[in-house]
Amino acid sequence: MKISIQGGRLIDPANGVDALNDIYIAAGRIVGIGQAPAGFVPNRVIDARGLAVLPGLVDLSARLREPGFEHRATLESELQAALAGGVTSLVLPPDTDPVLDEPGLVEMLKHRARQLNQSHVYPLGAMTVGLKGEVITEMAELTEAGCVAFSQADAPVTDTNVLLRAMQYARTFDYALWLRPEDPWLAREGVAASGAMASRLGLSGIPEQAETIALHTLFELQRATRARLHLCRISSAAGLELVRRARAEGLPVTCDVSAHHVHLTDVDIGYFDAHCRLTPPLRGQRDRDAIRAALADGTIDAICSDHTPVDEDYKLLPFGEAEPGATGLELLLSLALKWARDTDQPVSRAVARVTSEPARVLGSKVLASCGQLGVGSLADLCLVDLDAHWLVSEQNLVSQGKHTPFLGMELPGKVRTTIVAGHVAYETAA
């Protein structure tokens, strides 16, 4: 299939491009930009005038709920939601059922995703067997099966010696560990961020020290091992300051933030709105503002959707009993664009935080195939109307999960077309 995309505004932060340009696709790859290769005859011409042409989005955390939680969502429904949001590459946490701690489970998941021929799926392997924090998994075998890194998802490792040995093992073979910093004892039974709002509502709190103490531990062990760490879902101003210091020291560390935390604070819980029951919890305005500033200065590498579909039975409960999580795949680009508009950042910087920068976090093996639009790269891209707004509603969400704190809001940026490996995987009328 040969495709010509004509007259679009090409925004490609990886290659420093933001200009009107035509794109030519053949055999699943970009074969020309600006000028068609000799003898190029397209099977299809897409008129992109008035639209932005972006690299396909790279989402560093999306739970697709398979295997084990198909009653909440399926690969089919959530990969369709990804395409509707312009997301062409997704990283899957290992907290499925069963946990992704055996090569056969990873191979089965990858096979299912390939059969659907939609967005690319990159599983994270479990760092410990069953995510129990006791026995390290066979990371080498899981890597051969297709895992791009190793994680505990939201499960704690209470035995610091296990964490040290995992980091030593990972450093030996140059694997990356993706860990969410949270002290399990300080966070135990907490459902909201400690502070005036939690006290007023009578909710058990999680102090920011749960994040900072965990970060101190991780950085101390990283100094001893030099293992590569990616910190998932940083949520506090104090935590971000520790990340800055670690980077200035030269530690090999990257981090991401949930799109929800870029915009919301604990005040948005309002009268116990369970849509705002998230992990980590929403914190105060000072923390939200620090997250926005850290995105601008590059301390935070990427924005992720933290997509976690939750069904009615588990969400429509009292706040403290409701299951944390929200749908986010279809909102990722819009929330990144909204951050740029709210903080007077260039559009290209917002695009970078959901394309080239998360691709860089994934590493060189993946970087060559996603997050950019250079000649020769895989033809993963999306066409977006940056001036359009769309209403976040249950009817407009493709995901099987309909719960999000942004229900009823109008957000900027509407994906019109998503192309994966050179084939048009999603289209909507203007």
Q: Catalytic residues, which ones?
A: 306
As a whole number of angstroms, the distance between CA 275 and CA 406 comes to: 9
Handedness of CA 199, 190, 166, 173 (dihedral sign): negative
C-beta of residue 91 within 8 angstroms of C-beta of residue 62:
yes
Residue 56 is classified by DSSP as: P
C-beta of residue 311 within 8 angstroms of C-beta of residue 322:
no
CB atoms inside a 10 Å sphere around CB 408: 9
Handedness of CA 81, 86, 89, 93 (dihedral sign): negative
CB atoms inside a 10 Å sphere around CB 320: 16
Torsion of the alpha carbons at 45, 50, 55 and 58, rounded to the nearest 10? -120
C-beta of residue 108 within 8 angstroms of C-beta of residue 140:
no
Determine the 3-state secondary structure of 396 from DSSP.
coil
Listed in sequence order, the DSSP H helices in 343-422 are: 347-353, 356-362, 364-367
What residue type is 306 in one-letter code? D
CB atoms inside a 10 Å sphere around CB 228: 21
User: Cα 264 from chain centroid?
Assistant: 17
What spatial distance separates the first Cα and last Cα of the chain, rounded to whole Å?
23
C-beta of residue 225 within 8 angstroms of C-beta of residue 256:
no
Torsion of the alpha carbons at 400, 91, 135 and 102, rounded to the nearest 10? 80
